[in-house]
Amino acid sequence: MGVGVITIREFEPGDVEAALAMEEVAQPQPWTERIFNDELSAENRTYLVADDGAVCGYGGVMLMGDEAHITNLLVAPDHRGQGIGRRLMIGLIESAIAEGARHLILEVRSENEAARSLYSRLGLAPVGVRPGYYDDGDALIMWAHDIDSAEYAERLT
């Protein structure tokens, strides 16, 4: 259960340990410490955490040209349904737009209804399937175009 004020802030190296623990319980293909460290030190990335005194969610985005790719998004199971995933996504999208992104792309497990619904509400539409992308299933590719437009900005308010 979530308590208190939730802040969205930059992911710091000291957050890796908490994120690893969350990956282990909540991700079918958990990221390793090495992946987190590589990502945090790589160019053109933004990683954010949700913090209510402890890390309760995180996500990342990678910028390639004018395309922003969501690399990871996770909210602790006992903190879901409180708008934290949406707040993290908005923070990542706003950061990507500030860095020059015009399009947003991500892969999501086809059967991941919660994530698909979150992404649809943020204007992402399915554009294709990558069969066998995950060990245990297919990925749906979702896109949003013109995220630097005034129309898109309205979606984030």
Identity at 37, one-letter amino acid code: N
Identity at 47, one-letter amino acid code: Y
DSSP 111: T
At its nearest, how many Å lie between ligand COA and the CB of residue 124?
10
- CA distance readout (Å), 21 to 25, 30, 55, 78: 7, 9, 10, 14
Q: Which residue is nearest to ligand COA (CB)?
A: 85
The reply to whether 102 sits near ligand COA by the rule CB under 6 A is no
- Interacting stretch for ligand COA, rule CB under 6 A, among 28-36, 111-119, 128-136, 143-151? 111-119
Grouping H, G, I as helix, E, B as strand and the rest as coil, residue 156 is coil
Q: Toward ligand COA, which CB reaches closer, 68 or 115?
A: 115
What is the number of other CB atoms lying within 10 angstroms of the CB of residue 50?
26
Q: Toward ligand COA, which CB reaches closer, 73 or 101?
A: 73
The reply to whether 26 sits near ligand COA by the rule CB under 6 A is yes
Distance CA 126, CA 141 (A): 6
Work out whether the CA dihedral 19, 22, 24, 28 comes out positive or negative: negative
**Active-site entry in 23, 47, 58, 107:** 107
At its nearest, how many Å lie between ligand COA and the CB of residue 97?
19
Residue at token pair 């069969």: 131
At its nearest, how many Å lie between ligand COA and the CB of residue 12?
20
The reply to whether 149 sits near ligand COA by the rule CB under 6 A is no
The reply to whether 73 sits near ligand COA by the rule CB under 6 A is yes
At its nearest, how many Å lie between ligand COA and the CB of residue 23?
10
Distance CA 55, CA 156 (A): 23
> Which chain residues interact with ligand COA by CB under 6 A?
26, 73-75, 80-86, 108, 112-115, 117-118, 121
